[in-house]
Structure 1
Amino acid sequence: MSKIGGMRKLLASSIGVTCAAALVLPLTLTTTTTATEISRPAAAPGAQPARAADPGIPGSTQSLPLAPLADDRTLGSAQGLTPRDVRPFSLLGVVWDDPDTELHGSVQVRTRAAATGAWSGWQDVETHNADHAPDRGSEERTSGRVRGATAPLWVGESDGVEVRVRSADESAGTAPAPLPSGLRLELVDPGSESTVEAPVGGAPADPPVTEPLSPDTADASAPNSDLAPLGATEIPALDQAQTQHELLTLHADGLTEEQRANPYIGPRPPIVTRRGWGADESLREKAFLYTKRVKAAFVHHTATGNNYTCAQAPSVIRGIYRYHVVSNGWRDIGYNFLVDKCGNIYEGRAGGVANPVMGAHTLGFNSDSAGIAVIGSFNTTRPSATTVTAVSQLASWKLGLHGGNPSGKTYLKSAGGNLYAKGKNVRLNVISGHRDGFLTDCPGGLLYGKLGSIRSQAARFQGRS
């Protein structure tokens, strides 16, 4: 049995297996010692056939080239757009041609609310986003589609925009560096869901799937089919005893001696699936990408701002997903999981929440790790206690699948970044902040300051103290 196949068998909840028995779309999974693409599974005889597309979700992206500003005193040092009417959008960012070129300067925007016609004040967009990206030299990075980009910013439904991008201020009489070539403003409409209600403080029990599933939605749901019915909007929680029991029923070659003797794993929390937040599965690459195992979890913030309600969180995620794929040129959303301000947990990159899915979250350390992003910005805003607890619960379960001690240390090999050279073995906390692997302020100082609490809580959830 392959390691991934064994992991899927290990994690099937008795409830999920019973509900899903007639709906499972079988998978043939393989794993290698390097990142591996796994293509769509073929349907077995008697499997549920692919059906029509889910209605109502798609959304759109407007890409507007920036132009020199009228007050530009140094050629190439300021670009933007004057105020203008645009089609409705809710999330924005700025992209440019070369992903290895950094934008040294500032990006500011103001937007017009569609509901009231009122213009916002100027808002800063986080420009240092090169640290959230596929690893250099990886197939995803060298696809020819990847672009440089700012972080996305959630602004709510808007129909007008103005933007200005300026190089860093002159210093010691030296002219500022030119801005990257090919600057464009990306305006993202995340689309609207018509079939799934957004969870607030925990999603309700998943109803039977009655509407048709598109082939792509069925494919994305299939890697989770041992945990919940095909097409489910939520993977249900398991208590400690259920989770430990399933860990111990894994095939012998899938567990270490230490795990068999001490099955440390946190109870599985409820997880909103990609279908639950309304992913348009036609956008992403169709194959799934896996690494060997999950030795560490990196905690991030999305830097999209905190001006969203928990009912809007699925829309924010759809916006980030579309921005990562359509605007940045990635194969899928970069994070493995996302957590909102109410503590709801969401599946990120497709491939199965229990599987070691390769993300694009921590440049240099995407192999053998998972990226957990808290939706918001936490340089000046504190994360809620509910969110901190949810991150702890998620990390205790995900790391426990691979024998990870949340309070411990591990080694990861760098794929190259601005802190560690390619090939260097780096000793890191099993639960680390993004800034531990790359020189960045992510996940924001106030969330980074909670990592000690997250580690201790996660260890307690595993039963280690």
Structure 2
Amino acid sequence: MASIVSRAGWGARKPRTAPTRLARTKGVKVHYTGGHVDPRIVDDHARCIELMMQIQIHHMNGNGWSDFAYNLAACPHGRLFEGRGFEVMSAANGSGLNTDHYAILGLVGNSGFTQPNSALLNALRDGIDLLRKRGAGPEIKGHRDGYSTDCPGGPLYAWVRAGAPRPDPLEDDVSADDLWHKARIKRKKGTLEEREVSPASFLQELEMEQDAQSVQLDRIEKMLGQLLAK
């Protein structure tokens, strides 16, 4: 389980107002920064702390919010940061949507450091599991689900759509890009088939597979009904 950097540990400002309590949600929504993240963040944890402080300043001074928007944040060093914390409403999912899901931020952007590494993905998963223990339901969604935005970016959204899997613990590092390809390994007649896919085609194929599985289940139900009728 990822260690948690407290608000005092990363130098968080005090919120302007007390957070709104929220004991239960449908699940968790995953976010990214939406801006440039210096690639050197991977080798320097101090840059994670600096980025957290910058985001809070933007949220409070730029957006006029009462505090850092997310419940938790995850960094490429495998650590979690306490944001608004547990059992409180976030301000990250969009107007009218914050009561449905808690929010967790991955410290990746749309330029610079864009591919979450295995440490960040594991920390995100740890954060989701912790939020589930404190009131979150089973849903894991991206910010773009139900809101017009690119967040959480292609790599993280593909990871979310793949079920937010943990990277292989036997591998030194696995990016979300690696997980696109690993998710396409299928068993066919006892053999493994692997194909290269792009993020967009991966998401499209996931949707097609879900439709195909639904059709297959309908066929199985009809067959069972025919057998029982005999």
The TM-score, its normalising length taken from structure 2, stands at: 0.63
- Could you say if the C-alpha distance between residues 379 and 311 of structure 1 is closer, same or farther in structure 2, counting changes exceeding 3 Å? closer
- Within the alignment, does 1:303 sit opposite 2:38 as a pair? no
What secondary structure sits across from 1:436 in the alignment?
A: coil
Query: Equivalences for 1:300-379 in 2 at 5 Å?
Result: 300-307=31-38, 308-309=40-41, 310-349=45-84, 353=85, 355-363=86-94, 364-378=96-110
Are 1:383 and 2:92 an aligned pair?
no
Larger Rg: 1
- Count of residues in Structure 1 that have an aligned counterpart in Structure 2: 161
Tell me, in whole angstroms, the C-alpha distance in 2 between the residues paired with 1:440 and 1:396. Answer: 25
Determine helix, strand or coil for the equivalent of 2:103: strand
Letter of the 1:433 counterpart = G
Residue deviations 1:324-379, cap 9 Å, x none?
11121111111111111222110112xxx3x3111111113100421111112147
Structure 1 distance, partners of 2:98, 2:152, is: 16
String of CA shifts for 1:23-52, please: whole Å, max 9, x gaps: xxxxxxxxxxxxxxxxxxxxxxxxxxxxxx
Give CA-to-partner distance per residue, 1:94-126, whole Å, 9 cap, x none: xxxxxxxxxxxxxxxxxxxxxxxxxxxxxxxxx
Structure 1: 5+ residue runs without aligned partners?
Answer: 1-267, 406-429, 459-465
CA RMSD of aligned residues (A): 2.2
1:403 deviation in Å?
6.8
Q: Pick closer, same or farther for the CA change 1:378–1:442 going to 2, 3 Å.
A: same
Counterpart position of 2:158: 449
Looking at structure 2, the residues matched to 287 and 403 of structure 1 have their Cα atoms a distance apart, in angstroms, of 20
**Alpha-carbon distance change, 315 to 379 in structure 1, aligned in 2, over 3 angstroms:** closer
| Distance of 2:111 and 2:61 partners within structure 1 | 28
Separation (CA, whole Å) in 2 of partners of 1:372 and 1:454: 15
CA distance in 1, matches of 2:136, 2:10: 29
Structure showing the higher helix proportion among its residues: 2
What amino acid does structure 2 have at the position aligned with 1:440?
T
Whichever residue aligns with residue 448 of structure 1, its letter is Y
Q: Which has the higher contact order (CA 8 A, sep 6+)?
A: 2
Q: 1:333 to 1:448 in 2, by over 3 A?
A: same
Return the alpha-carbon distance in structure 1 between the equivalents of residues 103 and 29 of structure 2. 5
Tell whether the 8 Å contact from 2:35 to 2:109 is kept in structure 1 after alignment.
Answer: yes
**Equivalent residue letter for 1:360:** A
The separation in 2 between residues aligned to 1:319 and 1:403, in whole angstroms, is: 27
Give 2:123's aligned amino acid. A
Q: Which amino acid aligns with 1:377?
A: G
Report the secondary structure of 1:314's partner residue. helix
Q: By percentage of residues, which structure has more strand?
A: 1
